[in-house]
Amino acid sequence: MAIFKRAALFLFLVPLLTAVNCKKSSKNNDPVGPVELQETIVADDLNYPWEILWGPDNQIWFTQRGGEVSRLDPATGDVTPVYDIPDVVSNGEGGLLGMVLHPSFTTTPHVFVVYDYNSGGGNYREKVVRFTYSGGTLTSPFTVIDNLAASGIHNGSRLLISGDKIFITTGDASDQSLPQNINSRNGKILRLNLDGSIPADNPVANNPYWSLGHRNPQGLVFANNNLISSEHGPDSDDEINLIEKGRNYGWPDVKGFCDAGEQSTCTAKNVKEPLKAWTPTVATSGLDYYNSDLIPQWKNSLLLTTLKGQTLYQMELNSAQNGITSSNTYLNGKYGRLRDICISPEGKVYVCTSNGDDRIIELKPK
């Protein structure tokens, strides 16, 4: 009788235990999206473009990992070199990575870039530098922040400006002790004034961190007033995160959702769960917010490029832009690894590949 009772209890508990862990073990089953797209290759023969963004000159500004900043005319396909940053060191996935233009670029022509370099003693490091665009090139370099730990992987490196503040994503640089260390600038989303000084209203006085516990966040965008990031997981749990001031996003103690065995850690460390997580991983990368009428089915959506997944995700948000209500996929495997994305003022979408012989592709409805 005792054996029977124990067996019955086990059979009763199995579905409960499975339910507790169902988020972490969930599979990728997002459907193919319904929108028919017209796809046009507007640039090719590129070498690992990392950032693409739409400039006020109606050009696509882009970086390439070897150190080149260039401008692309999407109407003609003409690429104009702007500047080759001399001290960029491309090592593994490192090199010249993120870029952002000053919001008032026509009157304040500042270009911010983040890249990896060798510091004194041969240490591999990362820094954010502000240039001035003048005479068709970049001049007057000014270091915003430097001496960040860098590695051949896990460097973060997405930049975003909001008002007079710049947000900088940093990875763990292959050192899992850094993201939970409040005194380390790695494994964080940093927030600085545009001159590199630390804002008085950051979570901790004289500390540049805005959020901590990040592994490798490589997408960052505002959906109205909500700051949202995409982040690479290890062998599970790539994440979309709603970034809140001072919150902890778990790494390396928590991957994805607060599952069984992690609840006490989540409570103790004020861990914020993701809006969405993928298992197996898809290698989440570039992220943008779409709210144009050109593709009405995509209004109020996050657009995400993935590397390993080789897919463009369209994730519709709720009315408060703090939750994902549905998700569709596009370009599944057609162009290989997809690194970044940008959107023109009229609502055309551009994605760049990351295969070594790379392209920028324009997407619009048929």
pLDDT digits over 129-158, tens only? 999 999 999 999 999 999 999 999 999 999
pLDDT above 90 (res 216): yes
Does residue 62 form part of some domain? Answer: yes
Q: What is the mean pLDDT of residues 89-94?
A: 97
Residue 29 is predicted with a pLDDT of 83
User: What is the percentage of the chain residues whose pLDDT exceeds 90?
Assistant: 91
Per-residue pLDDT tens for 158-197? Answer: 999 999 999 999 999 999 999 999 999 999 999 999 999 9
What is the DSSP-derived secondary structure letter of residue 271?
Answer: B
Q: Nearest-CA neighbor of 240 among 340, 324, 364?
A: 324
pLDDT above 70 (res 263): yes
Per-residue pLDDT tens for 223-260? Answer: 999 999 999 999 999 999 999 999 999 999 999 999 98
Does residue 15 form part of some domain? Answer: no
Residue 27 is predicted with a pLDDT of 62
pLDDT above 70 (res 52): yes
Does residue 2 form part of some domain? Answer: no
| pTM of the complete model | 0.93
Rounded to 5 degrees, what angle do the CA atoms 132, 137, 138 make?
35
Could you list the residue range(s) of the whole structural domain that residue 216 is in? 33-365
Does residue 18 form part of some domain? Answer: no
CA–CA dist 257, 274 (Å, integer) = 6
Residue 120 is predicted with a pLDDT of 83
Tell me the three state secondary structure of residue 85: coil
Tokens linked to 366:
């048929």
**DSSP character string of 27-69:** ---PPBPS--EEEEEEEEEES-EEEEEE-TTS-EEEEETTSEE
Q: What is the mean pLDDT of residues 62-72?
A: 99
Number of folded domains that form the chain:
1
Does residue 314 form part of some domain? Answer: yes
The CATH number given to whatever domain includes residue 136 is 2.120.10.30
pLDDT above 60 (res 15): no
Rounded to 5 degrees, what angle do the CA atoms 65, 70, 74 make?
115
Tokens linked to 104:
């008032």
Per-residue pLDDT tens for 279-325? Answer: 999 999 999 999 999 999 999 999 999 999 999 999 999 999 999 99
CA–CA dist 163, 154 (Å, integer) = 28
Does residue 25 form part of some domain? Answer: no
